[in-house]
Structure formats: C-alpha cells, structure tokens
C-alpha cells in the first residue's frame, strides 16, 4: 500500500506531466472508491482515477466516519 499519492503522473494523451489537483489532510487520506484528479498543463486533459483497494491510503471508509 502506498504511503501517499504521486504529485505527478504521465499523461496518457500526450506524455506530459499531469499534476495532482487536490491534496488531503494527513489524518483523513483518500480510500478505495475515491476519485483522484490530475490535470495536464501540456494538453489541458483532466485525468480522473478511481482508487482501488491497493491504492487505499488508510482513510476511514465511507459510512464508517464518526
């Protein structure tokens, strides 16, 4: 399981460096099912990635928050 999300990823459309558009507080990281959005400044493409169980960063699953 990763410690954190990558700040940049390779854009699947142009090969540029897409940047993470949002961050999370350390005490409430994203969990499986959350959508992570990157934006590529080279081609202006938005990349939405749904996290799966392998990407879960240890946050509280939806419905389990107190």
Enumerate residues 6+ apart whose C-beta is below 8 A from 4. 29, 57
What pTM, to 2 d.p., does this model score?
A: 0.72
What sign for the dihedral angle of Cα 36, 47, 14, 17? negative
**Rg, C-alpha atoms of the chain:** 13
Q: What pLDDT, on a 0 to 100 scale, did the predictor assign at position 65?
A: 44
Determine the straight-line distance between the first and last CA of the chain, rounded to whole angstroms. 24
Q: What pLDDT, on a 0 to 100 scale, did the predictor assign at position 40?
A: 97
Q: pLDDT truncated to tens, each residue of the chain (66 aa)?
A: 345 788 999 999 999 999 999 888 878 888 888 899 999 999 999 999 998 876 545 544 444 444
């Amino acid at each position: 399981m990763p410690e954190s999300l990558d700040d940049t990823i390779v854009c699947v459309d142009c090969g540029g460096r897409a940047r993470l558009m949002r961050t999370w507080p350390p005490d409430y990281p994203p969990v499986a099912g959350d959508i992570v959005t990157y934006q590529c400044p080279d081609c202006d493409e938005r990349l939405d990635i749904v996290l799966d169980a392998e990407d879960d960063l240890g946050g509280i699953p939806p419905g389990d928050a107190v």
